[in-house]
């Protein structure tokens, strides 16, 4: 089948949905690959590298012409949808819970089979396809790097003849994939790290990375994880108790990283304005949930807000700040998924009962098929 890789046009998006490595493997599997010119330039993959891997490089959206499958990192903008071949499959991070009805209708008008990488089930067989995890892992790393840069002081303890520099204190709020990587990165940089999460399983994970766990461990805490491994939204009563516990802790921290997200819901508020004002000048908050409203109400997307000397940073696309690595991992997620929709002889096959494919399908044959989008 023909696979087309299109250039990203969302503002600030530096990633690409294929790399020369994955293109070579797709060609080896018998597929034809077309890459839009300039698609990988910012990520460090120039057009000649794709050509050498066996792809055909084509200028502009015409690269999608005749495609059976279109690869993108982010869902296409309306003008990009117009250039998609009718009936093609589209695989990308579709941001399904923020999908305007008009854009869904545009996909259905062209009978596009849209598959959302965010809906990859959290099962063992799908781990190699889990783009949310691959991108969150890099985002957690980058959040600490950004926080350390804004903080502007040394992270590890340093003992010199002129005196001793105390290690930075880093507090990670939310211990999913991003949070665990943030803990590991801050520890590698020499910081004293504490962390909190509403999921009981996180306590052992935090300890295994050499950090200290902080949480209200009541009965609600013990049942605060969904079957899919995500954190449940906690009751207002629990949130109040947790806020009281963390308020005094936050006041002593140098860098706070917040990562708490609930699929399809606004991000929970973890750090109030009062807590921010209790922090010492020079402290930093990196709000990784800013695109869903933020874990701190003072954060603004892609801005650093100064609150009495405390810097509140909201980065809406941290993986795009590591384009080569994030592109490489995302491209491998797509490569792992392709065999699930490849029929004998190399043709595309979406008529399958595979639970992974069924979970990821949003639209097909002019209709919205995802129950999660309908609800």
Q: Catalytic residue positions?
A: 122, 127, 130, 133, 230
Residue position matching structure tokens 């990670």:
172
Half-sphere exposure of residue 157: CA atoms within 13 angstroms, side-chain side: 5
Integer Cα distance of 110 and 357 in angstroms:
20
- Residue pair 306/278 in contact (Cβ under 8 Å)? The answer is no
Helix axes 201-208, 177-188, angle to 10 degrees: 20
Give backbone dihedrals phi and psi of 46, rounded to 5 degrees, phi first.
Answer: -70, 160
Write out the two tokens for 322. Answer: 């590591």
Per DSSP, what are the bridge partners of residue 342? 348
Burial (Cβ within 10 Å: 0-12, 13-18, ≥19) of residue 78: exposed
Sheet containing 212-213: order of strands: 212-213, 192-196, 169-173, 255-258, 284-287, 310-314, 303-307
Q: What is the C-alpha to C-alpha distance for residues 263 and 118, in angstroms, rounded to an integer?
A: 10
Pairing of strands 89-93, 310-314: unpaired
Which DSSP string do the residues of 228-277 spell out, in sequence order? TSPBPPPPHHHHHHHHHHHHHHHTT-SEEEE----TTSPPPP-S-HHHHH
Two structure tokens written together for 156: 């590890």
The string of DSSP codes covering 148-216 is: HHHH-S-SS-EEETTEEEPPPEEEEE--SHHHHHHHHHHHHTT-EEEEE-S-THHHHHHHHTT-EE---
């Amino acid at each position: 089948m023909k696979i087309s890789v299109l250039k990203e046009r969302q503002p600030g998006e530096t990633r690409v949905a294929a790399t020369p490595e994955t293109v070579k493997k797709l060609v080896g599997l018998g597929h034809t690959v077309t890459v839009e010119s300039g698609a990988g330039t910012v990520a460090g993959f120039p057009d000649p590298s794709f050509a050498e891997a066996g792809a055909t490089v084509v200028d502009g959206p015409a690269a999608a012409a005749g495609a059976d499958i279109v690869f993108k990192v982010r869902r296409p903008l309306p003008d990009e949808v117009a250039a998609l071949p009718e009936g093609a499959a589209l695989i990308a991070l579709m941001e399904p819970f923020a999908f305007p009805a008009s854009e869904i209708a545009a996909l259905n008008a062209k009978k596009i089979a849209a598959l959302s990488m965010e809906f990859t089930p959290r099962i063992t067989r799908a781990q190699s396809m889990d783009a949310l995890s691959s991108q969150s892992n890099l985002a957690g790393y980058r959040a600490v790097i950004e926080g350390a840069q804004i903080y502007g002081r040394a992270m590890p303890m340093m003992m010199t003849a002129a005196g001793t520099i105390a290690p930075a204190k880093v507090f990670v709020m939310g211990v999913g994939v991003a949070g665990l990587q943030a803990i590991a990165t801050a520890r590698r940089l020499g910081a004293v790290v504490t962390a909190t999460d509403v999921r009981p399983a996180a306590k052992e994970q935090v300890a295994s990375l050499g950090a200290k766990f902080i949480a209200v461990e009541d009965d609600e805490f013990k049942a605060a994880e969904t079957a899919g491994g995500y954190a449940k939204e906690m009751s207002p009563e629990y949130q109040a108790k947790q806020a009281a516990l963390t308020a005094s802790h936050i006041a002593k921290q140098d860098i706070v990283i917040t990562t708490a997200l609930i699929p399809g819901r606004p991000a929970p508020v973890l750090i109030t304005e009062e807590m921010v004002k209790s922090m010492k000048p020079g402290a930093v908050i990196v709000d990784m949930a800013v695109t869903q409203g933020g874990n701190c109400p003072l954060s603004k997307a892609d801005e650093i807000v100064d609150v009495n000397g405390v810097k509140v940073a909201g980065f809406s696309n941290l993986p795009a700040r590591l384009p080569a690595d994030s592109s490489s991992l995302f491209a491998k997620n797509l490569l792992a998924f392709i065999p699930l929709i490849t029929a004998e002889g190399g043709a595309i096959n979406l008529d399958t009962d595979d639970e992974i494919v069924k979970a990821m399908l949003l639209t097909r044959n002019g209709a919205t098929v995802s129950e999660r989008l309908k609800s």
